[in-house]
Structure 1
Amino acid sequence: MASTPLLKTQQIQVGGMDCASCAAKIETALAGLTGVAAVSVSAATERLTISYDPASLTEAEINQRLVSLGYRAIAPTPQGDGEPQDLKPGSGEFDLPAEIIPVLFVVALLAGGMIFGESLQNTPYGWGEYAVLLPAYLVSGSTVLKAAGRNILRGQFFDENFLMAIATLGAIAIHELPEAVAVMLFYRIGELFQESAVGRSRRSIKALLGVRPDIAHRQVEGSIQAVAPETVAVGEIIVVKPGEKIPLDGEVLAGTSQVDTSALTGESIPRRVNVGSTVLAGMINQTGILTLRVTKLFGESSIAKILDLVENATHKKAATEKLITRFARYYTPIVVILSLLIALLPPLLIPGATHQAWVYRALILLVISCPCGLVISIPLGYFGGVGGAAKRGILIKGSTFLDALTTVKTVVFDKTGTLTQGVFKVTAIVPKKGFSESELITLAAQAESHSNHPIAQSIREAYGQSINDPEVTDYAEIAGHGIRAKVNGQILLVGSDRLLQREKINPDPCAASGTIVHLAVNQSYAGYILIADEIKPDAAQAIGDLKHLGIAQTVMLTGDNERVAQEVAQQLGLDAYIAELLPEGKVEAIERILHRSGQGKVVFVGDGINDAPVIARADIGMAMGGLGSDAAIETADVVIMTDAPSKVAEAIQIAQKTRKIVLQNIALAMGVKAIFILLGIMGVATLWEAVFADVGVALLAILNATRAIK
C-alpha cells in the first residue's frame, strides 16, 4: 500500500498582484505543478498559501513559476529587537504624482490630435496624426501591451490585457486612432481609481490587523527589557504601562486599570481589571500600570488567533467566488471567439455590410467584456464581510462559512455558559434525615474537591474552607450523573436525579427553581443543594433578533433537569428544548435536528469541552471565545469573542448583507455589460461609450464591495 506523501504548507507574499484575476491566474498555474495538493491566493492580502509534496517540488521552483507569470515572491523582513516578523505589502499602493504626469501628457496629445484632427489627417499618408497619437497610445498603453506580449510568449492568451491590446490595435488598423488612445487612456485612469479603491480596502485590513502588539516589557531581576512578544515564555512577568497594548494573554499580579477590549470584542465600553483578573493580548491598557504573569505563548494568544483568522479567511472560498473564478477562465476565450465571428461573418452574409463597420463592433465587444471589475469585487466583498465581522468581535473562519450563514433556518444553543452566565451560586441548602446545613455543604464540598465542573466550584466557594485531600478517597466522576467518593469511610453520592435513580435511592420531591444537586450518604438520602445560574442579559434579545431575521426554529440543549430547562425556554421565547442530555445525547439530538432541517442550515452555539463534538457535527459550529474552551474554539467555524448570544444574529445579519453586496455586483456587472454588448453589436454604442461603461462598472462594483468592511 502506497504511503501518503507528507505535505508542506507554506505562505508566500506575492508582489505585482493587482486584482483577483491575477490571483486566479496564479492559482491555475500553480495548481498544475507536480506535487501541489492545494493552492489559494488572496488578492486582498496578496498572499499565496500552497500545500505541496517537498519530494516533488521545491520552494525555488514555486518562486520561479511566480516569476515566469510576471510576479515575485517577497521575502519576510528580518526580525529585529522588539520587532515581530512580518511581511511587506507587495502592491495596492501607488505613487499618484508619478502616475498623473504621463496621464496628463496623453490627455494633452489626445486633445491636440482631436482638435487638429482634420489638418493632421491631410498630411501625406496621415503621418501627422500618427506622429501625435501613436506616442500617446504607447505611453498610456505601455503597461497593458507589455503584459499582453509577455503573457502571449508564455502561451497565456486570454486575459484583460489581451482583450485591451487586441481591441486598441484593431482600432488603429481601421484608422480610429483617437478612439484607440482614448480606450487606453480611460482604461489606465480606471486602473488608477481601481488601485485606489483596492488600496483603501487593504489599508482597512491593515488597520484591522494593526492591533498586533509589537513589544512586550519583560521583567527580569528588577529590570525591564523591551522584547518581541514571540520571545516571552509562559510564566514570565511582563509590565504594561497606560496607553500600551497588552502583548500576551496573562493574569494580573499587581495593579488596577481600565482596559479597552474593542479590538477583540468590538465592545466600546472599557472593562475594569484588578489582581486575579485575566487579560488578553490586543486589549489596550488605559489608566494604571499592570504587572502580568503570562499564561499563553503569543502564537496561542487570542490576538494571534484573530490575526491568523482574518489574514487567512479568504483561503476557504465561498461557492460564488469559485464560480466567478471558473467563469472568468472560460468567459474571455468565448468573448474573443464571438468577436472574431462578429468581425468576419456579417460582411460575408449581409449585403452591403462592410468589414470596417463590423470590425469596429467586434472591438466594442472586446472592450466592454473585460471581466476585471467582476472578479476583483466579489472576493473583496467577502473579505470585507469577514473583516467587518472581526471588528465586531465575531471571527468567521472563511467566506464559505459567511455564505453558509445566509441559509441558516435552525439555531441550536447550549444552555450553560451560552444562554446563561455559567457562574453558579448556591442559593439554598436543604438537609434531610437529621443532617444539618453545615454538614451537608461540608460533605458535598469534600466529595466535589477534585472536580473542575462549575457546579463543583460553586459548592466549594459556598463552603469557603480548605479541604483535607487525604480524607477523600475512591474518587470517581460519572459522566452526566455526578460524583462518587469515600470521605472518612462514608460513601458519598453527589449529583443529579439520574445518579440517585441509578443507585436505587429515592430523593424527596422538590419544586425549586434552579439546578438541584442531591446528596446521599451510605445509600441514604441526605438532602439537596439548590444552585442558580443567571440568564445572560442579551439572551432574550438574541432569540428575538433571530426570529426577526427569519430563523424558523430556535432550540436549547441542556443536561439540566426538565423543570429548569422549561423555565429558561419560556423566559427566552425558545421554540423547543431538550433536557437531561448526557454529553453523547447532545450529538444524537443535533443529528435528529439536522435530519429534520431539510435544505436549511443548522447552527450550534456552545462553549464547553463537551460541546466540541456537537459544534463539529452541526452545519455551522459557533463557539463562545471569551470564556469558552480551547477545544470548542478550535472546532468552531465561527468564534464569538464577547460571549454574547446576541452576536449570533449579528453574524447572520453580516453574512446576509455581504451576500447582498456580492449579488448586487454580479447583477450590476453582468447587466450593464449585456446591455452594452447588444448596443455595440447593433452599432448604437461606440468605443468611447464602451470604455466608459467598462471602467464605470468596475469602479462601482469595487466601491460597493468596500462597503462590506464597514
Structure 2
Amino acid sequence: MSAHTHHAHQETAACDSCRACACAHGAKAGHSSFGGWKKLALAAVLFAAGLLAPGGLWVKLPLYLAAYVLCGGEILLTSLRNLRAGEVFDENFLMTAATLGAFLIGEYPEGVAVMLFYQTGEMLQEYAAGKSRRSIVKLMDLRPDFARVLRGGKEEKVNPQEVKVGEITRVRPGERIALDGVITGGEGRIDASALTGESRPVRAEIGREVLAGCISVDGVLEIRTQKTYENSAVAKILELAENAAGKKSSAEKFITRFARVYTPAVVFAAAAVAVLPPLLIADASFKTWFYRALIFLVISCPCALVLSVPLGFFGGIGGAAKNGILIKGGSYLELLSRLHTLAFDKTGTLTRGVFEVTDVFPAPDVSKEELLRLAALAERHSNHPIAKAVLKAAGADNAKNARVSVREAAGEGVEAETENTRILAGNERLMRRFNVRGAEPGRGTCVYIAANGVFKGRLELGDKLKPGAKAAIKELGGLVKRLVILSGDSVSAVEKTAHELGVTQAYGGLLPAGKVETLEKLMSETPQGSATAFVGDGINDAPVLARADLGIAMGALGSDAAIEAADVVLMTDEPKKIAAAVRLSQKTLRVIKQNIALALVIKAAVLTLGVMGLANMWGAVFADVGVSLLAVANSLRPLYFKEI
C-alpha cells in the first residue's frame, strides 16, 4: 500500500504546515541570520527608548521606526515576495497590514509592539518546535563517529561507511558500536538504551549479535561486520526519524485546508469592519473602525492552530521515541488513537518463540532415535525457532556429516533429500499435499515427519508466553474493542495460547496469504473511521504488516522487513509497549483537540470584543501570540509521556 512508501522529506511537520498556510517561514529563517534573540533585544531597547524618550514625535518616531524595521523588516520583505508570487492572504500579510495601518493612523507604539511581540512569540514557538524535534533527532546520537578496523594486524580509525562486510572492528569501553555484527572476541556489557529504551546493560559475549548504536560499557569487543553501514539497523532508523514528518495526519491536513479558507475570509471581514460601519452608521468615525479592523486582523492570525497541531504530533512522536517506540509519522500516531481491532501474530510476538520438544511419538516400527535423526536431517539448515528446537532435541551431532539438499515450503515446513531418502518435516498441510497418511492431530505445535512418502511420527513442541503478555493483553482490552490472534501455527496451539491470554477470537493454520485474507475480513468489519492494526515479528509477517491500516513490528529492530513494512517499530519485544503507544496517541489527540478549542474560543471572544471597541491592540496581541504560546506549551506535554 502506498502508505508504506517512504519518500525523502527534509522538512519538519511544523515547517511544512506553516508553509502550507504561508506562515512566516522566511521570517523564522531570518532570525538566525540576523542574530535571533539579540536582534529582538535591540529592537525592544529601541522601543522602550521611544516610549521613555522626552520630547515630541520627531524624537520618538525615529526610534519607533528603527525598532519596527529591526524586528519586522523580514516580515515586510517576505510579504512582498509572497505578493509577487501571488500568495496574498498569509500571516505575513496580516502582520504587515495591521502594523503599517497602526502607523498610518498615528498609533506608532502599538504598531511596533504588535510586531515585536509577534516576532518574540515566533521565536519562542520555534524554540518549542526545536525542543520537540530534538527529542526525535536525539536518535541521531546513535550515529557512530568512527570505526576501529583491524587491517593487516594494525588498528585503523576510519569512517563507518568505509568498512566492508566481514571485516573485524574493535570497540573499546565507552565507545559506540559502528556496524551490525557478531562478537568474535572479548566480553563485557553493552548499553542498548538509545535503541531500545532499556536502561539496564546486557551481557555481550562471543557469538552474540550486536547492533550499531549500542555502547560497550566495560569490555573491549571485537566484532565481525555483517552489514555495511548503509544497510545497518541504525542507519534505517535514522532515516525514518529524519523523514517522520512526511506522513501528515488528517488533523494536520484539516488545519492546512482550514487556514487556506480562514485567512482570506478574515481579511475580507476586516475590510468590511473598516468600511461598512462608516458608510452605514451616522457619526461613525472611519479612524475608529479602521483601528478596530486592524485589531481584527491581528487577532485573526491562525498561528495557534497552524503551529500547535503539528507540534502536538511531534511531541507525541518524540515521547514515543523516548519510550523505545518509533512511529513513522503523525498519520500513524493518529491511527493508533483510533484502533478498533488489534490482530497479533503468535510466535515471537505474544510467545517467546523459544520452542522445546516436549514429546516424541514415533510410528509403529520406528524408534525415537530414528525419528529424531530424520527430523534433524530435514531441519539442519533452517534458522526457524521450531527447527532449532528439533535440532537441540536430536543432538548437535545427529546427521552432522550427511549430505542434504533442502527446500522450504512457505507456511508448511521443509522438503529434504539425501542420497536415497526424501524427507518431509512440517505441519499437517505438508503431509496432505504429499498424500502422506497417518498424521494424527496432536496437542499444541507439532512437526510431522515422513520419509519416501511413509509417515514416521510426530514431535510435539511447547512455547511459553512472554513475560508481561497476559497483563498487556488485559490492558489493551480496555483500550481496543477487539483483540484477535492470527497465526500459521496449528489451530490447537493457537487456541491454547488464546485461552491463556483471554483472547476470544483466534485463527490458526494460516499461510501468509491466509493471514492477509483474514485480516481483510476483519478490516471490512471495522466501523468506518476506526482502524485495524496487525502486530508481528516483521519477517514472515511483512505482507500482512503492509496490508493493515497500521503495521506494528515487535522486537524486530534488526529486521529489514519490519522497518520497511511496519508503520510503528517497537524497539524491544515487550507487549506492554503496544498499550503504551496507544495511550500516548490518545493523550496526544486530546492535547491537539484542546489546542483547537482553546484557540477558537479565545479568538472568537476577543474578535467580538474588538469589533465592539472593548479590546485594544494589546488584547489582540494576547489573542494571537499569547494563545499561540499557550497552545504550543500544551503541545509539548506528550513529549514528557512516561510509560507506566
Q: Establish whether TM, by shorter chain, passes 0.5.
A: yes
Q: Quote the Cα distance in structure 2 between the aligned partners of 1:596 and 1:315.
A: 30
- Taking structure 1 as reference, are residues 11 and 136 closer, same or farther at Cα in structure 2, changes over 3 Å only? closer
The question of whether the paired residues in 1 share the 8 Å contact of 2:136 and 2:321 is answered with no
| Alignment match, 1:399 | 330
The question of whether the paired residues in 1 share the 8 Å contact of 2:7 and 2:246 is answered with no
1:528 and 2:469 aligned: no
- Show the 5 A alignment for 1:74-473: 95-112=36-53, 120=56, 127=58, 130=61, 133-463=64-394, 464-465=396-397, 467=399, 471-472=403-404
| Alignment match, 1:568 | 497
Q: Quote the Cα distance in structure 1 between the aligned partners of 2:403 and 2:14.
A: 70
Instruction: String of CA shifts for 1:220-239, please: whole Å, max 9, x gaps.
Output: 11211111111111111111
Cα shift at 1:644: 2.1
The question of whether the paired residues in 2 share the 8 Å contact of 1:110 and 1:181 is answered with no
Cα shift at 1:490: 4.1
Cα shift at 1:633: 3.1
The question of whether the paired residues in 2 share the 8 Å contact of 1:389 and 1:654 is answered with yes
The question of whether the paired residues in 2 share the 8 Å contact of 1:186 and 1:692 is answered with no
Counting aligned pairs with the same residue, the percent is: 47
Give the aligned residue type for 1:704: N
For the aligned residues, what is the CA RMSD? 3.0
Tell me the SS of whatever aligns to 1:421: coil
1:515 and 2:445 aligned: yes
**Which has the larger displacement, 551-560 or 622-631?**
622-631
Q: Quote the Cα distance in structure 2 between the aligned partners of 1:344 and 1:375.
A: 29
Q: Quote the Cα distance in structure 2 between the aligned partners of 1:166 and 1:295.
A: 61
Question: Which of residues 470, 477, 481 in structure 2 aligns to 1:540?
Answer: 470
**Which has the larger displacement, 441-450 or 254-263?**
441-450
Tell me the SS of whatever aligns to 2:96: helix
The question of whether the paired residues in 2 share the 8 Å contact of 1:18 and 1:91 is answered with no
Q: Quote the Cα distance in structure 2 between the aligned partners of 1:372 and 1:436.
A: 78
Q: Structure 2 regions of 5+ residues with no counterpart?
A: 1-5
Tell me the SS of whatever aligns to 2:268: helix
Cα shift at 1:314: 0.7
The question of whether the paired residues in 2 share the 8 Å contact of 1:313 and 1:383 is answered with no
| Alignment match, 1:652 | 582
Q: Quote the Cα distance in structure 1 between the aligned partners of 2:202 and 2:94.
A: 57
- Taking structure 1 as reference, are residues 92 and 218 closer, same or farther at Cα in structure 2, changes over 3 Å only? farther
Instruction: String of CA shifts for 1:630-683, please: whole Å, max 9, x gaps.
Output: 334311122222122222222222221222222222122222111111110111
| Alignment match, 2:543 | 613
- Taking structure 1 as reference, are residues 511 and 462 closer, same or farther at Cα in structure 2, changes over 3 Å only? closer
Tell me the SS of whatever aligns to 2:355: strand
1:498 and 2:425 aligned: no
The question of whether the paired residues in 1 share the 8 Å contact of 2:236 and 2:563 is answered with no
Give the aligned residue type for 1:643: D
| Alignment match, 1:75 | none
Tell me the SS of whatever aligns to 2:572: coil
- Show the 5 A alignment for 1:680-695: 680-695=610-625
Instruction: String of CA shifts for 1:170-207, please: whole Å, max 9, x gaps.
Output: 22222222322322232233234334323433443443
The question of whether the paired residues in 2 share the 8 Å contact of 1:519 and 1:525 is answered with yes
Q: Quote the Cα distance in structure 2 between the aligned partners of 1:674 and 1:447.
A: 74
Instruction: String of CA shifts for 1:64-112, please: whole Å, max 9, x gaps.
Output: xxxxx7899xxxxxxxxxxxxxxxx995996544542331231232244
Give the aligned residue type for 1:703: A
Cα shift at 1:577: 0.3
Give the aligned residue type for 2:486: L
Cα shift at 1:272: 0.9
Q: Quote the Cα distance in structure 1 between the aligned partners of 2:257 and 2:378.
A: 62
Give the aligned residue type for 2:386: I
The question of whether the paired residues in 2 share the 8 Å contact of 1:218 and 1:237 is answered with yes
Q: Quote the Cα distance in structure 1 between the aligned partners of 2:31 and 2:295.
A: 33
- Taking structure 1 as reference, are residues 502 and 133 closer, same or farther at Cα in structure 2, changes over 3 Å only? closer
| Alignment match, 1:39 | none
Tell me the SS of whatever aligns to 1:366: helix
- Taking structure 1 as reference, are residues 187 and 107 closer, same or farther at Cα in structure 2, changes over 3 Å only? farther
**Which has the larger displacement, 538-547 or 230-239?**
538-547
| Alignment match, 2:481 | 552
| Alignment match, 1:3 | none
- Taking structure 1 as reference, are residues 601 and 25 closer, same or farther at Cα in structure 2, changes over 3 Å only? closer
Give the aligned residue type for 2:540: N
Give the aligned residue type for 2:631: A
1:673 and 2:603 aligned: yes
| Alignment match, 2:512 | 583
**Which has the larger displacement, 603-612 or 403-412?**
603-612
Instruction: String of CA shifts for 1:352-378, please: whole Å, max 9, x gaps.
Output: 221111111101101111122321222
Cα shift at 1:246: 1.0
**Which has the larger displacement, 322-331 or 663-672?**
322-331
Cα shift at 1:263: 1.0
- Taking structure 1 as reference, are residues 129 and 357 closer, same or farther at Cα in structure 2, changes over 3 Å only? same
- Taking structure 1 as reference, are residues 235 and 202 closer, same or farther at Cα in structure 2, changes over 3 Å only? same
Instruction: String of CA shifts for 1:530-569, please: whole Å, max 9, x gaps.
Output: 22222111221221121122x1111111222222211100
Give the aligned residue type for 2:595: N
The question of whether the paired residues in 2 share the 8 Å contact of 1:244 and 1:285 is answered with yes
Q: Quote the Cα distance in structure 2 between the aligned partners of 1:92 and 1:612.
A: 46
- Taking structure 1 as reference, are residues 526 and 142 closer, same or farther at Cα in structure 2, changes over 3 Å only? closer
- Taking structure 1 as reference, are residues 470 and 188 closer, same or farther at Cα in structure 2, changes over 3 Å only? closer
The question of whether the paired residues in 1 share the 8 Å contact of 2:22 and 2:91 is answered with no
The question of whether the paired residues in 2 share the 8 Å contact of 1:446 and 1:467 is answered with yes
The question of whether the paired residues in 1 share the 8 Å contact of 2:40 and 2:120 is answered with no
- Taking structure 1 as reference, are residues 128 and 560 closer, same or farther at Cα in structure 2, changes over 3 Å only? closer
- Taking structure 1 as reference, are residues 338 and 416 closer, same or farther at Cα in structure 2, changes over 3 Å only? same
- Taking structure 1 as reference, are residues 97 and 18 closer, same or farther at Cα in structure 2, changes over 3 Å only? farther
Tell me the SS of whatever aligns to 1:103: helix
The question of whether the paired residues in 2 share the 8 Å contact of 1:605 and 1:622 is answered with yes
Q: Quote the Cα distance in structure 1 between the aligned partners of 2:229 and 2:267.
A: 52
Cα shift at 1:163: 1.3
Higher relative contact order (CA 8 A, sep 6+): 2
The TM-score, its normalising length taken from structure 1, stands at 0.83
The question of whether the paired residues in 1 share the 8 Å contact of 2:71 and 2:119 is answered with yes
Q: Quote the Cα distance in structure 1 between the aligned partners of 2:500 and 2:460.
A: 20
Instruction: String of CA shifts for 1:206-226, please: whole Å, max 9, x gaps.
Output: 433222111111111121111
Cα shift at 1:20: 5.2
Question: Which of residues 628, 638, 650 in structure 1 aligns to 2:568?
Answer: 638
**Count of residues paired in the alignment:** 633
